[in-house]
Amino acid sequence: MTKITVDHLARGAFVYIRQSTADQLLHNQESQRRQYGLADRAKQLGWAKVEVVDDDLGRSGGGITRPGFERLLAAICEGRVGAVFAIEASRLARNGRDWHTLIEFCGLVGTVIVDEDGIYDPRNSNDRLLLGMKGTMSELELSLFRQRSQEALKQKARRGALFLGVAAGYVKTGHDRIEKDPDQRVQDALRIVFAKFAALQSVRQVHVWLREEGIALPTARHCTAEGRGIVWRLPLYNTVHNILTNPVYAGAYAFGRTTSKVSVEEGRKRVRRGVRRPLAEWDVLLKDQHEGYISWAEFERNQRVIANNATGKGSALARGAARHGELLLAGLLRCGHCGRKMYVAYGGKAGRYLCGGALVNHGAQRCISFGGLRADHAVGTEVLRVLKPLGIDAAVKALDAQAGETSGAKRQLELALQRARFEVAHARRQYDAVEPTNRLVASELERRWNERCRSCTGSRTRLPPSRRRSQYRWARLSGSS
Structure confidence by residue, pLDDT tens digits, 449-458: 888 888 777 7
Residue whose C-alpha is closest to residue 310's, from 203, 410, 426, 387 = 203
Residue 317: per-residue pLDDT: 55
Catalytic residue among 20, 90, 459, 481: 20
Contact (Cβ atoms closer than 8 angstroms) between residue 228 and residue 273: no
Question: What residue ranges do the domains of the chain occupy?
Answer: 6-156, 162-252+287-320, 323-388, 403-478
What is the structure's pLDDT at 362? 62
Is the predicted pLDDT of residue 470 greater than 60, yes or no? no
Residue 371, beta-bridge partner list: 352
Interval 71-78 mean pLDDT: 92
Looking at residue 474, what is its pLDDT? 43
Alpha-helix residue ranges (DSSP H) falling in 45-169 = 67-77, 89-92, 96-109, 125-158
Mean pLDDT value across the chain: 82
217 contacts 233 by C-beta, under 8 angstroms: yes
The beta strands (E) that lie in 238-349 are given as 253-255, 258-265, 268-276, 284-286, 343-347
Q: What are phi and psi of 346, to 5 degrees?
A: -115, 135
Of residues 466 and 414, more confidence is placed in 414
Q: Is 260 a catalytic residue?
A: no
* Local confidence band at 400 (pLDDT 50, 70, 90 cut-offs): low
Higher-confidence residue: 28 or 339?
28
Percent of the chain with pLDDT over 90: 25
Mean pLDDT within 34-55: 91
Residue range 302-307: mean pLDDT, rounded: 90
Q: How confident is the model at residue 395 (pLDDT cuts 50, 70, 90)?
A: low
CATH for 6-156, options being 3.40.50.1390, 3.40.640.10, 3.50.50.60, 3.40.50.150: 3.40.50.1390
Separation between Cα atoms, residue 171 and residue 280, nearest integer Å: 27
pLDDT band per the 50, 70, 90 thresholds, residue 7:
very high
**Which amino acid is located at 186 in the chain?**
V
Question: CA–CA separation, 335 vs 333, rounded Å?
Answer: 7
pLDDT tens by residue, 240-263: 999 999 999 999 999 988 888 888
Among the listed ranges 21-30, 110-119, 147-156, which one has the minimum average pLDDT value? 21-30
Q: Is the pLDDT of residue 408 over 90?
A: no
What is the per-residue pLDDT for 334? 80
Q: Does domain 162-252+287-320 sit in CATH 3.90.1750.20?
A: yes
Burial class (CB in 10 A: 0-12, 13-18, 19+), 3: middle
User: Which stretches of 263-390 are DSSP H helices?
Assistant: 296-309, 357-362, 372-387
Instruction: Indicate if the pLDDT at residue 468 is higher than 60.
Output: no
Question: Which has the closest alpha carbon to 109: 180, 8, 249, 20?
Answer: 8
Which residues does 315 contact at the CB level (< 8 Å), separation at least 6?
A: 307
Q: What's the whole-number mean pLDDT along residues 37-50?
A: 92
Is 277 a residue whose pLDDT tops 60? yes
Rounded to whole angstroms, the maximal C-alpha distance in the chain is 102
Q: Which residue has the higher pLDDT, 7 or 229?
A: 7
